Structure 1
Amino acid sequence: MRAFLEEMFFVPKWYHYPFILLLLPLSILYGIIMSLRRMIISPKEFGIPIISVGNLIVGGSGKTPFVIALASRLEGVVIISRGYGRKSKGLVEVSSEGRILVDVTQSGDEPMLMAQSLPHASVIVSEERALAIALAKEKGAKCIILDDGFNRVEIDKYDIILEPSVVKNYLPFPAGAFREFWFNQKYADIVAKEGEAFHRHVAFENLQPSMVLVTAISNPHRLDAYLPEGVVHKVYLEDHAYFEEEKLKMLLSEHKAQSLLVTEKDAVKMQDFKLPISEMKLKLQIQETIFTQVDEYIKGYRE
């Protein structure tokens, strides 16, 4: 069912359209409600520059590597994320200026990846973004990056939307992948289109002649275009799912593979596993004009 829905959301085939038509009234209603939120709710000013990196679709679009690339250029930055898939609740400090304070079960996979990738930044997870913003200010943050914050309409912020190149269904949930009507991107300060404003580059570590791909990301079929030779089997888990070491050992044995091929997001949940790992590392090449616009926003805010 998950594979069917992901295909329907991103690259629908002819057999998806009866379901899309059935769900269309709900999608229109959902889109109207989300648009009304933007008209009714007044955003609150928090007295600190806040940059949101988000998207309009459910699932991945490169937000995490984009946040890492942006945060690596900023001083005194605190990243705030909801922490999808974590086993904790409430506000949790994941890192403080690069010092890791919790394990991945408390942070979630994406916040942990950001924390480990940014030795000069701090990372906080919280369902209540306002509480995390207050803590960041208390700790002396100079600016804040909201991970996946476009739909947080109650916060006054500078919005960057990432627009992936793979989506062909532009309907709102539940008939499509969009969290709002696609034309609500007009509310963003920057719409960064994949293939124009940013490009993906995938590097590999420890490639082996025979590997099993194991991943717990949204829309995992998007990895297919980047897979190297030697992948003998693929295993897709739910987005943000955790792995069991013994089951992974059995997979290696069953398919006579020499290593597990995983993404960086998956790898942070396997750090204590005594297993051979091959890793896919996604980096983004981002137009310099985007960084310039963010710098101008921060400078103008402080003035």
Structure 2
Amino acid sequence: MSKAPRTPRHWFDGAPVPPVARLLEPVYAGALKLRAGLFGLHLLRRKRAPVPVIVVGNLTVGGTGKTPLTIALVKRLRAAGWNPGVASRGYGRHDQATPRWVELQTTPAEGGDEPVLIARRTGVPVRVDRDRVAAARALAAAGCDIVVCDDGLQHYRLRRDLEIEVIDGRRRYGNGRLLPAGPLREPAVRAARCDFRVVNGGSAGFGEWPMTLRPEGAVPLAGGKPLPLTAFGGHRVHAVAGIGNPARFFDMLRDYGIGVVPHAFDDHHAYTAQDLQFGSQLPVLMTEKDAVKCAPFASAWSYSVPIDAELPEAFWVALEARLQLLREPAAGRGSRR
């Protein structure tokens, strides 16, 4: 049975903000200011990894396309001669307290769905740890010369050399309010401190870089030859998405003329075989993030839909120019935030 995501309607759909949420918003804002003050007074200290750190994150709650961008970024770094590793909290894994390496055989229950997906798509070292400072240092000790943090824009203990904000181009910042009155983890003005701002879909504004998520096709979870999405055009399918914004996946399939029977689950949903019992034997198309969890019990007509993040070549040129400065001993990494 599908479970609808629990995104409050007042965040993005124009519904009135509930009174309780309005009352709690200044409490949340006060907590942000307190934490910033503690870092400013050095009562909370930022710590640096021995190698450059790039953080890919967002200001809003929910999915914006961070993981596809992280995968694309890691591939470009390798092509440019870097030896990258990925640090992540590993949200959704069973044992959050224990750091671990995510390897090809690691299950999503052990490593978290996004880290497992990143490890399988890139083949680089992936370390999950609630303490991202420790994760970055472990990656450096393992031979990585640059660390990419999947999420963690608000994890200020770890100093970073570059910040990349990812924005949902359709929903943007919603009603522009802080949690729980709105979807913002930090005020929107925080975006000005990011080195790059990447917009997933919609229209990129001044100083922003457009990103498009392109599907590679449909890969049978039981094995076999991948199919183009056009093969499902004109047919009905069960579409499964347990991501921050399931509608984005459903709309992408509809763009290929596919009749979508949507099944939206909460982000990082822990699937069981019963979740995929829909009462009709239609093809089941799911996001790659969901597929890493559903593969052990998926039917013969279940497919994963991998996607690639595409950005203008000018973005990569600008990023690589910034990264080249980090290779220089005189880059002054100690002055970075």
Scaled to the shorter chain, the TM-score interval is: 0.7 to 0.9
Aligned CA distance change for structure 1 residues 143 and 24 (closer, same or farther; 3 Å): closer
Structure 2 counterpart of 1:108, one-letter code: G
Cα distance, 1:277 vs. partner?
Answer: 1.5
Aligned partners of 2:64 and 2:244 also within 8 Å: no
Gaps of 5+ in 1: none
In 2: Cα distance, 1:37 partner to 1:53 partner: 24
Show CA shifts across 1:192-215 (max 9, x none).
233431322332414542311222
Aligned partners of 2:67 and 2:118 also within 8 Å: yes
Match among 262, 265, 270 for residue 242 of structure 1: 270
Pick which of 25-34 and 162-171 moved more. 25-34
| C-alpha RMSD over aligned residues | 2.4
Match among 276, 283, 288 for residue 259 of structure 1: 283
Aligned CA distance change for structure 1 residues 34 and 58 (closer, same or farther; 3 Å): farther
Does the alignment pair 1:192 with 2:198? yes
Show CA shifts across 1:89-128 (max 9, x none).
3211013xxxx14222111111111111113x21111111
Task: Tell me the TM-score normalized by structure 1.
Answer: 0.86
**1:119-198 equivalences in 2 (<5 Å):** 119=123, 121-157=124-160, 158-165=162-169, 166-167=171-172, 168-194=174-200, 195-196=203-204, 197-198=209-210
Identity %: 26
Cα distance, 1:19 vs. partner?
Answer: 5.9
Show CA shifts across 1:38-57 (max 9, x none).
63455322221111111111
In 1: Cα distance, 2:5 partner to 2:185 partner: 19
Aligned CA distance change for structure 1 residues 18 and 225 (closer, same or farther; 3 Å): farther
Aligned to 2:197, the other structure's residue is in SS state strand
Does the alignment pair 1:219 with 2:223? no
In 1: Cα distance, 2:9 partner to 2:305 partner: 23
Cα distance, 1:162 vs. partner?
Answer: 1.2
In 2: Cα distance, 1:236 partner to 1:19 partner: 27
Aligned to 2:180, the other structure's residue is in SS state coil
Aligned length in residues? 293
In 2: Cα distance, 1:214 partner to 1:171 partner: 30
In 1: Cα distance, 2:157 partner to 2:296 partner: 39
Aligned CA distance change for structure 1 residues 193 and 238 (closer, same or farther; 3 Å): closer
Aligned CA distance change for structure 1 residues 25 and 238 (closer, same or farther; 3 Å): same
Pick which of 167-176 and 283-292 moved more. 283-292
Show CA shifts across 1:162-219 (max 9, x none).
1222132211111111111111112212222334313223324145423112221123
Does the alignment pair 1:94 with 2:95? no
In 2: Cα distance, 1:148 partner to 1:37 partner: 22
Task: Tell me the TM-score normalized by structure 2.
Answer: 0.78
Does the alignment pair 1:46 with 2:49? yes
Does the alignment pair 1:32 with 2:33? yes
Structure 1 counterpart of 2:192, one-letter code: K
Aligned CA distance change for structure 1 residues 4 and 108 (closer, same or farther; 3 Å): closer
Cα distance, 1:80 vs. partner?
Answer: 0.6
Q: Which residue does 1:201 correspond to in 2?
A: 213
In 2: Cα distance, 1:300 partner to 1:22 partner: 46
Gaps of 5+ in 2: 219-226, 329-337
Aligned partners of 1:243 and 1:270 also within 8 Å: yes
Cα distance, 1:240 vs. partner?
Answer: 0.5
Aligned partners of 1:93 and 1:101 also within 8 Å: no
Q: Which residue does 1:82 correspond to in 2?
A: 89
In 2: Cα distance, 1:170 partner to 1:36 partner: 23
In 2: Cα distance, 1:79 partner to 1:230 partner: 35
Q: Which residue does 1:8 correspond to in 2?
A: 10
Aligned to 1:192, the other structure's residue is in SS state strand
Aligned partners of 1:262 and 1:280 also within 8 Å: yes
Aligned partners of 1:54 and 1:148 also within 8 Å: yes
Cα distance, 1:25 vs. partner?
Answer: 3.0
In 1: Cα distance, 2:94 partner to 2:259 partner: 31
Cα distance, 1:16 vs. partner?
Answer: 4.1
In 2: Cα distance, 1:37 partner to 1:153 partner: 11
In 1: Cα distance, 2:89 partner to 2:71 partner: 16
Aligned partners of 2:284 and 2:302 also within 8 Å: yes
Aligned to 2:306, the other structure's residue is in SS state strand
Aligned partners of 1:163 and 1:193 also within 8 Å: yes
Match among 96, 99, 107 for residue 103 of structure 1: 107
Does the alignment pair 1:57 with 2:65? no
In 2: Cα distance, 1:28 partner to 1:129 partner: 24
Aligned CA distance change for structure 1 residues 226 and 118 (closer, same or farther; 3 Å): same
